[in-house]
Amino acid sequence: MKTLPAALLRFVVALGHDRRGLAAVEFAFIMPLMLVMFFGTVEFSSGVAVDRKVTLMARAASDLTSQATQVVDADLQNFFSASVGIMTPYDPSPTKVTLSEIYVDNSNIARIQWSKAGTIASGATQATLTASTRSQGDIVTSVVPSALLVAGTYLIFSEVSYKYVPTIGYVMAKAGINLSDVAYTRPRQSVCVFYAPTSATMPTTCSTY
């Protein structure tokens, strides 16, 4: 039976007791998991923060409009532009805001009276007004909470959507996640909030289309 040379045997024994590379090996095993947890936490936290800002935008747009007795395009543009400040430090350009006034008739049917939308261009500080996907006369009873369907009343209805795209996209969806929220407020200074592109064409009576 052959035996190992004494010097080689001592080397093998010493190698078996050597722990100098243990920490490095353990770190190599856990580093990928640590990175996934780190970036996942960052992306998830940012997503939650953006979602909260989307809610704030919906409430701010509805609240600002409900405090007026009448609004023109310039006013709505300013309301939409508030999104830039609310979204700081995140990019406001994926923001889409729609403001509408709803009338609930005596049959508790809710219809759009007027509606306007706004977007934020990349790097811009002012919103751009765009055509709304909702038109005058559209029935929106299904989107109004039943507690707010009070006959003969008006509601300011704001809708905000935002596509959140993670910076890294390693843990969350790389293509992005669509966030949205809505808010409802009653006109505070008058029965309804009049709308026209300019004050020269402002109506004098609340519509019940």
Share of the chain above pLDDT 90, in %: 62
Going by pLDDT thresholds of 50, 70 and 90, the confidence category of residue 22 is: low
Query: Hey, where are the domains in the chain?
Result: 20-201
**Which is more confidently placed, 117 or 27?**
117
Going by pLDDT thresholds of 50, 70 and 90, the confidence category of residue 136 is: very high
Q: What is the pTM of this model?
A: 0.81
- Residues 27-82 have pLDDT tens digits of 778 888 887 787 778 888 888 999 999 999 999 999 999 999 999 999 999 999 99
The per-residue DSSP string of the chain comes to -----HHHHHHHHHHHH--TTHHHHHHHHHHHHHHHHHHHHHHHHHHHHHHHHHHHHHHHHHHHHHT-SEE-HHHHHHHHHHHHHHHTTS--TTEEEEEEEEEE-TT--EEEEEEEEEEE-TT-SSEEEE--S--TT-B-GGGS-GGG--TTEEEEEEEEEEEE--SS-SSS-TT-EEEEEEEEE--SSSSS-EE-SSGGG--SS----
